[in-house]
Structure 1
Amino acid sequence: MSEYAVREELPTPETFVALREAAGMAERSVEAVERGLPNTVYGVTAVHEPTGDVVGMGRIVGDDGSVYHLCDMAVHPDHQRRGLGSRMMDALMAYVEETAPPSAYVNLMADVDGFYERWGFEATAPASEGMYYRVE
């Protein structure tokens, strides 16, 4: 039996910020996270059951109909390589499969080569190009 559970819940803002930092992801302020988390369409956490620590997270934002954006996928480095990212993606994609209507657009910004393709994701180039703007 796994010592980890994937739960349909969101981390606290402080845990969210700490997980992103530990995973080497771009910084988010606690204020931004406090405002953003309640707008989540669906989210999951990975919990190390012996300690109760939240060691992973992932969520979907969007309009819950025509657009779904998978984001904030992170697993603390001390708990990587145990299948937690795959288990969280399975849960996120199960939500999409159960709720998204035909023609819904599901996207993400991939930062791990060869990971998301297992769930049917494809590079958008050359048909389209990902872009971003960060508020300073």
Structure 2
Amino acid sequence: MGYELRESPPTVERFLELRAAAGMSERSREAVERGLPNSLYAVTVVDEADETVGMARVVGDDGSVYHVCDMAVHPDHQRQGLGSRLMDALMDWIEETAPSSAYVNLMADVEGFYEQWGFERTAPASQGMYYRVR
């Protein structure tokens, strides 16, 4: 099956569907409608039927902090190297765009995946934390 990488975010509907299909935590439609347009960079992968089957994006202040997030590939299309293609695109953009000393972070949910792009665990020097608005 052929896939095409596109430099654009998914639709709000497909963003919600992909997160659910990939077993990721739920986001409200309002949050996604507000957040997607504020992406610094977003990529999607579409299949031959022009359906978005993968996504990833970078958010941040476009100077000192960049956060890789919303990396998802639909389970029916996993194990095709699509996650790597998405991550390659994000990292190429970061390398071309971010100034030296910029901090790039992410919340890793796949063991051993992000290290190939140079990401390192922060513990024990620091601990990742989160707060969810209810």
TM-score range, shorter chain: over 0.9
SS in 2 for 1:110: coil
Q: Give the match for residue 46 of structure 2.
A: 47
Q: Give the match for residue 65 of structure 2.
A: 67
**Equivalence map 1:1-136=2 (5 Å):** 3-48=2-47, 50-136=48-134
Unaligned runs of 5+ in 1: none
Aligned equivalents of 1:37 and 1:31: distance in 2?
10
1:11-64: CA deviation from partner (whole Å, max 9, x where unpaired): 01110000000000000011110000011000000100x210000000000011
Unaligned runs of 5+ in 2: none
Report runs of 4+ in structure 1 exceeding 2 Å deviation. Answer: none
Amino acid at match of 1:15: R
Identity of matched residues, %: 72
Figure out how many residues of one structure are paired with residues of the other and give that number. 134
Note the aligned Cα RMSD (angstroms).
0.7
Q: TM-score, normalised by structure 2?
A: 0.98
